[in-house]
Amino acid sequence: MSNPPSLAELAITFNHIALASFGGGLSAWSREVLVAEKKWMEDEEFLSAVTMCRILPGANQVNLAVFVGVKFQGIPGACAAVFGLTLIPVIIAIALAYFYFQYHHVPAVQGILKGAAAAAVALTLSMVFKTGKKCLTGLVPVAFFLAIFVMNGVLRWPLLACLSLLAPLAIGWAWPRKARG
Amino acid sequence: MNLRTLTQILLLFSSLSILSIGGGNTVLPEMHRKTVDSYHWLSDKQFADVFALSQAAPGPSILIVTILGYKAAGVTGAILATIAMMLPAAMLVYLVSRVWEKAKDAPFRKAFEKGLAPLTVGLILASGWVMSQAADHDWRAFLLTGVCTVIFATTKTNPLILVAAAGLIGWLGWV
């Protein structure tokens, strides 16, 4: 990367990500924009950043905006990215809150949201194919992938328990070795 | 709106911010307990509706706190709740990401990136799985999700078009 993105570009990009995520699927949209479209980071860096942002307290997507903002422009970059990510959604949330507590029901919107939510799930699922292609290249990574899916998704174990069990093993497996055998 | 409510908003959400290890949704039960049972800002049913709204609205799902803050203390409360929920955690991420950038070529960073990748993909599948159980209530919704997944995975269709089309299908009452 020759030119790091400017503050305005960071804000606009995260605003774009946020607005695209109508119906959910924000993290899939993040990859779509940050990795595929803007090429600001590689899949590997993106995935490790996503996991770090999940482990740390705070909303994952806000954390990711901070991470990407700091990477390119330090603290001002983090502020710009978070500002872009949240400004319009906050306005929308306040408007929704106003309407909801005023009228209690927005029936037409509920149908739209139902459909949009089904597609947002699809976007998240398709991200599994797109990101999995690169890193699920052997028996060991596939085993890690399946193990954490079952623990966290099917059995609903807390994230922290799953990661404290599997992350040390995975990192040990991936540790660069001097002599490759 | 008064100073006491604003102080409650500030203290509640900034402490939840630090406690929300693993993402905003992990502190939802505590958020529910405080806002409904302790502070009586809204009813149980309203909390459930507000949660659904915040999930579907664009932006970080944690913006449920914006709506809760609004209910408690109007627009000031909404903005205060949002900032309180983001700032403490964001400062922590800042510190960690500084260390991360400095360790560009360190073996531990390489091992982290390579080792965590398959785990993250597994977690993405897990969240898709959990989301589909919340979003897809019958076979038609599952079918819609399935078809959209295949389209997303195999073509370069702009996701926004597909999400809009799915919204239209929902509006027409087909799912």
Summarize the confidence of residues A147-165 as an average pLDDT: 87
The Cβ of residue A39 has, within 10 Å, a number of other Cβ atoms equal to 9
Q: Is B158 among the domain residues?
A: no
pLDDT > 70: what percent of chain A? 93
The Cβ of residue B151 has, within 10 Å, a number of other Cβ atoms equal to 18
Q: Which among A90, A119, A156 is the nearest to B166, CB-wise?
A: A119
Which residue in A103, A119, A150 sits closest to A23, CA to CA? A119
Could A21 and B166 be called an inter-chain contact, meaning their C-beta atoms sit closer than 8 Å? no
Grade residue B51 by pLDDT with cuts at 50, 70 and 90.
confident
Residue A104 has pLDDT above 70, yes or no: no
pLDDT digits (tens, 9 = 90+) for B53-97: 777 678 887 889 999 999 999 999 999 999 999 999 999 999 998
Q: Is B48 among the domain residues?
A: yes
Residues 6+ apart with CB under 8 A from B5: B72, B73, B77
Tell me, yes or no, if B29 comes closer than 8 A to chain A by beta carbon.
no
Between A154 and A177, name the one with better pLDDT: A154
Tell me, yes or no, if B48 comes closer than 8 A to chain A by beta carbon.
no
Summarize the confidence of residues B131-137 as an average pLDDT: 77
Could A51 and B116 be called an inter-chain contact, meaning their C-beta atoms sit closer than 8 Å? yes
Between B135 and A175, name the one with better pLDDT: A175
Summarize the confidence of residues A56-83 as an average pLDDT: 93
Q: Is B156 among the domain residues?
A: no
Predicted TM-score of the model (pTM):
0.77
Q: Is B157 among the domain residues?
A: no
Tally of domains in chain B: 1
Which residue in A140, A143, A94, A141 sits closest to B76, CA to CA? A94
Mean predicted lDDT score pLDDT of chain B: 87
pLDDT confidence of residue B1: 56
Could A59 and B86 be called an inter-chain contact, meaning their C-beta atoms sit closer than 8 Å? yes
pLDDT confidence of residue A105: 61
Using CB atoms within 10 A of its CB, is residue B87 exposed (0-12), middle (13-18) or buried (19+)? Answer: middle
Q: Which among B114, B136, B170 is the nearest to A121, CB-wise?
A: B136
Q: Give the structural domain span for B20.
A: 1-102
Q: Is B132 among the domain residues?
A: no
Grade residue A152 by pLDDT with cuts at 50, 70 and 90.
confident
pLDDT confidence of residue A181: 41
Summarize the confidence of residues B106-120 as an average pLDDT: 87
Summarize the confidence of residues B26-50 as an average pLDDT: 85
Q: Is B141 among the domain residues?
A: no
pLDDT confidence of residue A120: 80
Q: How far is CA A84 from CA A12, A13, A160, A162, B27, in A?
A: 6, 7, 29, 32, 24
Closest residue on chain A to B112 (Cα):
A171
Between B169 and B158, name the one with better pLDDT: B169
Q: Is B119 among the domain residues?
A: no
